[in-house]
Structure 1
Amino acid sequence: MKPLVGIVLGSDSDLPLMKDAVKMLEKLNIPYEISISSAHRAPDKTAEYAKTAEGRGLKVIIAAAGLAAHLPGVIAAHTILPVIGVPVKSGALEGVDALYAIVQMPPGIPVASVAINGAKNAAILAAQIIATGSPEVVEKLHGLKAQLAGEVEAKDSRIKELGVENYLAGK
């Protein structure tokens, strides 16, 4: 099956974080591709990736970036596909600088952003975008939401049964 989501990492050091996005896309049975590129160290490669993404059948690109966080914006400058930036917690500002860099894009070059280290939510947002044209993904997302609600109900029942101290002791 052709990849629908592209995951781009600025560095292999982002892989432990972005594994959460990979796991979520696999859970939702959404094919993806993964690539390491850099807006600064490999700008031509990054631009080529973005320019050819639509033609390769991608529907959404998730780009992780820390510090100056230019990768999502550079990708967005070279494609019409939705780009979701994942600010990576790093450096003296612990990802706040990356978050600001991702959300403060100039007019005409939008980049969606999730929370700092929000790789899992980036995958869910990508799935929601894809779901606008895929009944199969719609069904998977409804299942995910039901699972999340079930987990909350189980925790609520458990705290009522055990009380606060015993609940916390069992964590």
Structure 2
Amino acid sequence: MSSPFVAVLMGSDSDLPVMEETLRILSSFDIPHEVKVTSAHRTPAATHAYVEDAESRGCRVFICAAGLAAHLAGAVAGITTRPVIGVPIDAGPLQGHDALLSTVMMPGGVPVATVAIGKAGAKNAGYLAAQMLSVGDEALAKKVKQERQKSAEAVIQKDADLQKRLSS
């Protein structure tokens, strides 16, 4: 088995502009990852084969992004017992609300951790994968805590800047 990694699956290459947020977060934590375009509906056999192969090569978390019917995360969760994070893509006439419902409405026993619609969700999928992996990796856990602290300090600084502007 190779080194642990995260597999990022997209239902279409048009999902890449959103999912670049996930890739950026994973890279910032030095988490190895691979990206694959595969479809729950158009390439179900290839999706199944990829998930089994990725798992055998050390995949620890699957992040699946899809829009509209958005069955990719659920299809992957039906194949593996590794954590699956679903990212609803903000596409189509309902701007991702249909994808959100398709991703979150899983039957009991086949969970998909579902994040927000669009880029915020893609970003959180990267952070959530890092948190999942950090359970067994103290060095990564430290990086995740440092990132959270850095984010908190940025909010505190922005508030201090705002208060200074308002008091002037």
* TM-score over 0.5 (shorter chain): yes
Is contact 1:18–1:64 with CA below 8 Å preserved after alignment? yes
Contact 1:3–1:33 (CA under 8 A) maintained in structure 2: no
> Quick one: percent identity of the two aligned structures?
45
CA RMSD of aligned residues (A): 1.5
Q: Hey, what does 1:127 align to over in structure 2? A: 130
Query: SS in structure 2 opposite 1:138?
Result: helix
**Structure 1, 16-25 or 99-108: larger mean CA deviation:** 99-108
Comparing 74-83 with 51-60, greater Cα deviation is found at 51-60
For residues 149 and 19 of structure 2, what CA distance do their matches in structure 1 show? Answer: 24
Q: CA shift at 1:3, angstroms? A: 5.0
CA-CA distance at 1:161 after TM superposition: 1.1
Query: Is there any run of 5+ residues in structure 1 with no aligned partner, and where?
Result: 167-171
Aligned-residue offset at 1:40: 1.1
- The alignment's TM-score, normalised by the length of structure 2, stands at 0.94
- Does the alignment pair 1:159 with 2:154? no
Aligned to 2:146: 143
> SS where residue 59 of structure 2 aligns?
coil
- 1:5-28 CA-partner distances (Å, limit 9, x unpaired): 000011000000000000001111
1:98 aligns with 2:95: no
Matches within 5 A, 1:5-20: 5-20=6-21
For the residue of structure 2 that corresponds to 1:59, the secondary structure is strand
2:27 and 2:86 map into 1 onto residues whose CA distance is 19
Q: Distance in 2 between matches of 1:148 and 1:110?
A: 29
Residue in 2 aligned with 1:169? none
1:35 alignment counterpart: 36
Residue 8 of structure 2: SS of its match in structure 1? strand
1:148 counterpart letter in structure 2: S
Aligned equivalent of 1:89: 90
Q: What are the within-5 Å matches in structure 2 for residues 40-55 of structure 1?
A: 40-55=41-56
